[in-house]
Structure 1
Amino acid sequence: MSNFIWGVVQSAFQFEMGDPLRRNIDARSDWWHWVRDPFNIKNDLVSGDLPEEGINNYELYEIDHRLAKDLGLNAYQLTIEWSRIFPCPTWGVEVKVERDSYGLIKRVKVPKEALEELDGLANRREVLHYLAVLKNLKKLGFTTFVTLNHQTLPVWVHDPLWTRSDFEGSRARGWVDERNIIEFVKFSAYSAWKFSELVDFWATFDEPMVTVELGYLAPYVGWPPGILNPKAAKKVIINQMVAHARAYDAIKEHTKAPVGIILNIIPAYPLNPHDARDVKAAENYDYFHNRLFLEALNRGRVDLELDWNPVKIPHLERNDWVGNNYYTREVVKWTEPRFEELPMVTFVGVEGYGYSGNPNGVSPDNNPTSDFGWEVYPKGLYDSTAEGAEYGRPVYITENGVADSKDILRPRYIIEHVEEVKRLLENGIDVRGYFHWALTDNYEWAMGFKIRFGLYEVDMITKERIPRRNSVETYRKVVREGVE
């Protein structure tokens, strides 16, 4: 397919900072505060590595774009960071809000006057920076994919330390609070107004269920706000769905470009396929982690109470394409319902498989595991992408890669996963692109710089990009040969 998309991905927080003079630090995001919190560091919730010591893509983006071009790629995916554009609150900018019979936000109208007011509040330097980045990509001939929320939030939207210490008293609780839907719509409308001529594909969210599962149901994994609060998790799910739909509408006011959402569709397999309870656990995992968003945004079928009784809400059926971030699978077994508010959570991952393996070992099925301990399981890319395609929208594999600092697993990983892409196409599945995570090493959230995903190693002192030659040449060859 001559029009197949081949690309690489970056997110703002993980790649941008690191200039030696500390001129381009973004100290206004929730993750900035989270990773330097003494309690988090002392208790090994985060690594202690700091993003301002990172790879400095903010200054070196032209180098990275050229590396991507030299690989033969035709697409590049990046994030416009909300906290850079609006480091201070936008609450005072008035917009019109309408609700439906369920009390959900049905429409947010951002008039020209509001956009002009937002323009006065925006950080001019950061707006010009992203314009320069996007113009350079277009000059090099790339198709541009832009994500508006890749996990991080402005600290005035989400203060994770305040929220963790005083959940009820915090006035910056992120997606728990409905008012932040309106602020996200303002940011989305402003971004489309400013950048739409340079953006070919928009994504509202990247992996919204990660925010839910790691932030509110797994307090010891190092993800903000690090609390156990199933009731809040339920609100975050619904509020992110509404935020996507309303941001979709706002973006479409300024462009005809496709607007989608990026999910980490994870195929779940029962530990014992002959045990009805394990089979049910896998079904419930799929419904909770994958289907809630897929059903709501592509079919308008919304499970408001998370009780397997969706209702039809047409104004949430807003989606042009599905992104699938795939790294590995889950193998699950049955457990009794864990949370009264989330009765479908009757599953637990089995140690050794999927995301629960030992670093640099093998899974119980004798599949290799990465530096992260994640099991290499290429078939899962086929199964997860096919699931995303069931909803009648084109699917792009928006992240796929492996943590492999010694470059032992990555070449084979690329080949085997692209083979699954070929199999998808042979079977008529509408998959239109593949993005590798990542072009370069980066800041891997709570794990800091320990985990290396890059085709190019980065010397954290000099910021030099050093090719991991086997992987670089493998990906270049795969792109050159295509998927036909």
Structure 2
Amino acid sequence: MPPAMSADERTFPEGFTFGVATSAYQVEGGIENDWAEWERAGKLKDPHMRCGRAVDHWNRYEEDYGLALQAGASAFRVSLEWARIEPERGRYDGAALEAYRERLLRMKARGLRPVVTLHHFTHPTWFHRETPWHTPASVEAFRAYTRACAPVLKGLDALLITLNEPMVVLLGGYLQGLLPPGIADGEKTMRAMENMVRAHAAARQELTAVLGKVELGISQNMLCFAPDRWWHPLDRALVRLGAHAYNHAFHEALVTGKLRVTMPGVASTRVDIPEAKDSCEFIGVNYYSRAHLRFMPRPPFIEFKFRDKLGRGLTDIGWEDYPEGFGQILSEVKRYGLPVWVTENGLDDRNGLRRPHYIHSHLAQVLDARARGVDVRGYLYWSLLDNFEWLEGWGPRFGLYHVDFDTLERRPTPACDYFRTVAQGRKLVAPSTPAPSAQPSAAR
């Protein structure tokens, strides 16, 4: 039964987009790339875990488009898998390009606006050996890949994303060594960041050469940061530095052409990249949680924790449920003077009962932000389907649809009805069922 309307319901404007998000490696299956190599090397939390066939979206894409429509979505975020398209450096797979083109055309024909990401964490197996991000060769490699992809995107009116969560790639892969390529080097982190900014600008040049006008940006993971000890000046200083470096430095570079990052005790960079100035048409925000930062007197100097300060219960993946931070982030990105798209927001909820309330509380923040003058154009829920979640493997469940990972059967969660009611009615209404009681949570 759909949720009942409430007296204080608020309305989303005509033209506001409700959609869903996915990424190629997490859903398609059968991909050989750097993450597949990482898994075989036993680098996940469960060293025996493999993505393998994922949830077989490569073969079930028509079914999944139908599920998105049933959930009330009018946009569908996907990524192109670089390893499918360029399995060997300089050799492009025409069949893969044609397959992606056909899928995107079918998506549009069914009434779903394509939101297309060129790079969603993964790389061809040759990339880190031949053109890693900390070398200038990476920029030309990404340019050439984008040039091959550009014809696939013609006539789609797609929202385009060059890079998904570049700071996660950089901090996880270059500073902590937890993700491919497994490097822990501050100076290489800075060089890689500079080259990713340049790669975005190069990709823009290739896309505009083929497509003309584009609606282009990046999708940036943005955390709300708070001092672990509100009274401690160094905790508070870490919050200021962390919020700028993690949330804003990349976007600032794409707006101003100036990359400025300070990570005390780690590395810093101050470089002008003129070709990056005014190189995006929108700000893409991925938001999930708030993190508390504590200064430590020894390397790595920062302790990073998710805490249940408000007694709501940590989410199943161990993150704080803090929609207020979403509103804060949306207000912060108003400074760029560009339209805003929420390109990911979602909840790991393994019994499915908490998700409608999570969506409601975060959509309320979207409306509040719009009332403050933030030009939020759309909200894409992560994710349409339960899928493979990187280092966490098959444990988390973010999907509007529950997937049986043995049979691959898709079943709607309670959030499907709620999401559809809001999206189709364009009104924010309260979920029809009470929120589950918070369970005691240990600080993480």
**Shorter-chain TM-score: which interval?**
0.7 to 0.9
Contact 1:385–1:397 (Cα < 8 Å) also in 2 = no
Instruction: Identify the match of residue 190 of structure 2 among 234, 237, 255.
Output: 234
Q: Residue type of the partner of 2:40? A: R
Q: Which has the higher contact order (CA 8 A, sep 6+)?
A: 2
State the SS of the aligned residue for 2:315. Answer: coil
User: How far 1:192 moved relative to its partner?
Assistant: 1.2
Contact 2:327–2:366 (Cα < 8 Å) also in 1 = yes
Per-residue CA deviation, residues 263-319 of structure 1 (Å, 9 max, x unaligned), is 012121122333322221100101211121021111112227877784544322111
1:12 matched residue in structure 2: 24
Structure 1 runs (4+) greater than 3 angstroms displaced? 44-47, 304-313, 335-339
Partners of 1:483 and 1:332 in 2: CA distance: 37
Instruction: Identify the match of residue 453 of structure 1 among 375, 383, 398.
Output: 398
1:141 matched residue in structure 2: 111
1:262 is aligned to 2:219: yes
Farther off after superposition, 52-61 or 363-372 = 363-372
2:274 matched residue in structure 1: 314
Partners of 1:337 and 1:248 in 2: CA distance: 42
Contact 2:161–2:218 (Cα < 8 Å) also in 1 = yes
2:332 matched residue in structure 1: 387
1:152 matched residue in structure 2: 122
State the SS of the aligned residue for 1:253. Answer: helix
Partners of 1:47 and 1:481 in 2: CA distance: 45
Per-residue CA deviation, residues 333-359 of structure 1 (Å, 9 max, x unaligned), is 2245847xxxxxx64323x42xxxxxx
Partners of 1:309 and 1:10 in 2: CA distance: 33
Paired positions, count: 411
1:374 matched residue in structure 2: 319
Contact 1:146–1:199 (Cα < 8 Å) also in 2 = no
State the SS of the aligned residue for 2:343. Answer: strand
Contact 2:28–2:53 (Cα < 8 Å) also in 1 = no
1:34 is aligned to 2:4: no
Q: Residue type of the partner of 1:403? A: D
Contact 2:134–2:189 (Cα < 8 Å) also in 1 = yes
Cα 1:128–1:270 shift into 2, 3 Å:
same
Per-residue CA deviation, residues 73-130 of structure 1 (Å, 9 max, x unaligned), is 111110011111111111xxxxxxxxxxxxxxxxxxxxxxxxxxxxxx3212211211
Cα 1:308–1:26 shift into 2, 3 Å:
closer
Structure 2 gaps, min length 5 = 1-12, 429-444
Structure 1 gaps, min length 5 = 18-24, 91-120, 159-170, 340-345, 354-362
Q: Percent identity?
A: 31
Instruction: Identify the match of residue 224 of structure 1 among 180, 194, 200.
Output: 180
Q: Residue type of the partner of 2:247? A: N
Contact 1:300–1:314 (Cα < 8 Å) also in 2 = yes
CA RMSD across the alignment: 2.0
1:348 matched residue in structure 2: 303
1:114 matched residue in structure 2: none
Contact 1:397–1:431 (Cα < 8 Å) also in 2 = yes
Contact 1:456–1:467 (Cα < 8 Å) also in 2 = yes
1:123 is aligned to 2:127: no
1:475 matched residue in structure 2: 419
Q: Residue type of the partner of 1:377? A: Y
Contact 1:441–1:456 (Cα < 8 Å) also in 2 = yes
Partners of 2:205 and 2:46 in 1: CA distance: 37
User: How far 1:243 moved relative to its partner?
Assistant: 0.7
Cα 1:369–1:396 shift into 2, 3 Å:
same
Q: Residue type of the partner of 1:80? A: L
1:280 is aligned to 2:292: no
Partners of 1:300 and 1:258 in 2: CA distance: 18
Q: Residue type of the partner of 1:210? A: V
State the SS of the aligned residue for 1:197. Answer: coil
1:62 is aligned to 2:19: no
TM-score (norm 1): 0.81
Partners of 2:362 and 2:218 in 1: CA distance: 22
Partners of 1:321 and 1:413 in 2: CA distance: 25
Partners of 1:313 and 1:380 in 2: CA distance: 31
